[in-house]
Amino acid sequence: MSAPIGIFDSGYGGLTILSQIRSLMPQYDYIYLGDNARTPYGTRSFEVVYEFTRQAVEKLFDMGCRLVILACNTASAKALRSVQQNDLARLGSDRRVLGIIRPTVESIGGITRSRHIGVLATEGTILSASYPIEINKLFPDIQVSGQACPLWVPLVENGEAHSPGADYFVRKYITQLLEQDPLIDTVILGCTHYPLLIEKIRRFTPAGINIVCQGDYVAASLQDYLQRHPEMENNCSKNGSCQFFTTESEEKFTSSANLFLRYPVEVHRVTLG
Ligand code: DGL
């Protein structure tokens, strides 16, 4: 049986990851699922993010996926391990769920010179401490500071990413991060929504600081995973298609998805749980 690759996010943010994955590996079939009705996840508890993520993974498995990417840092931080440990055996031993924090973290050792890194992410991702934990496993010499940016996802989800009103909040969180550690020379955008704010993030980040967007690293890491796991790769269907599903209204998704993908998509509504 051949299967599409599932890409899940709490909303539209994962579309930034999907774009990079598809441009590197256009041959595969993909299913994108956004839990737009229940976004944002960033301020929710571990239990709730785990429950919602498990429901989404089950839905994507039911749709025929064998491999699901949690294209959401919050879900990767708060739910990935629980889904892998508690649910995968029951859902099918040949299925896999991968997150996006590890591939991002692997990339930064070669980028920072000062060995001082900043992470901008949702409150949930920052409170989970997943980035400092994962970074220090690989690079114990790197000092990590984190700044939660609770208003960035709502700005993006509400189509305000380019509005003048967004300037205040973009500048505010960057300033707060750099105040924590002035030696930071590399900033990870640890939320898949944030590349949509990249123009403003660049404008308010001092020159010389590297800004790391995750998409390229996640796509390269997935390619590497598929090369190392032919049993999974052989099962991936290869017609170059992508289907979109949302838990919110189809109209709303279609118009907002345009901001991320810049091509029209046909989307279907699903319920989770
Ligand atoms: N885009 C998601 C992330 O990468 C989360 C946004 C949210 O639902 O708060 O963390």
Ligand 1 centroid, distance to 260 Cα (angstroms):
14
Per residue in 229-268, pLDDT tens?
A: 999 999 999 999 999 999 999 998 998 888 788 788 999 9
Whether 193 lines ligand 1, by a CB cut-off of 6 Å, is yes
Whether 146 lines ligand 1, by a CB cut-off of 6 Å, is no
Per residue in 75-117, pLDDT tens?
A: 999 999 999 999 999 998 899 999 999 999 999 999 999 999 9
Ligand 1 centroid, distance to 125 Cα (angstroms):
9
pLDDT at 194 over 90: yes
Whether 112 lines ligand 1, by a CB cut-off of 6 Å, is no
Domains observed in the chain: 5-100+216-269 (3.40.50.1860), 102-214 (3.40.50.1860)
Ligand 1: nearest atom to the Cα of 43: 9
What is the per-residue DSSP string for the chain? --BPEEEEESSSTHHHHHHHHHHH-TTS-EEEEE-GGG---TTS-HHHHHHHHHHHHHHHHHTT-SEEEE--HHHHHHTHHHIIIIIHHHH-TT-EEE-SHHHHHHHHTTT-SSSEEEEEE-HHHHHHTHHHHHHHHH-TT-EEEEEE-TTHHHHHHTT-TTSTTHHHHHHHHHHHHHHH-TT--EEEE-STTGGGGHHHHHHHSPTT-EEE-SHHHHHHHHHHHHHH-HHHHTTB--S--EEEEESS-HHHHHHHHHHHHSS---EEE----
Whether 215 lines ligand 1, by a CB cut-off of 6 Å, is no
pLDDT at 137 over 80: yes
Whether 214 lines ligand 1, by a CB cut-off of 6 Å, is no
Per residue in 14-67, pLDDT tens?
A: 999 999 999 999 999 999 999 999 999 999 999 999 999 999 999 999 999 999
Nearest CA to ligand 1 atom 4: 191
pLDDT at 1 over 80: no
The pLDDT-based confidence of 2 (bands split at 50, 70, 90) is confident
pLDDT at 132 over 90: yes
Q: Which of 65, 149, 191, 213 is catalytic?
A: 191
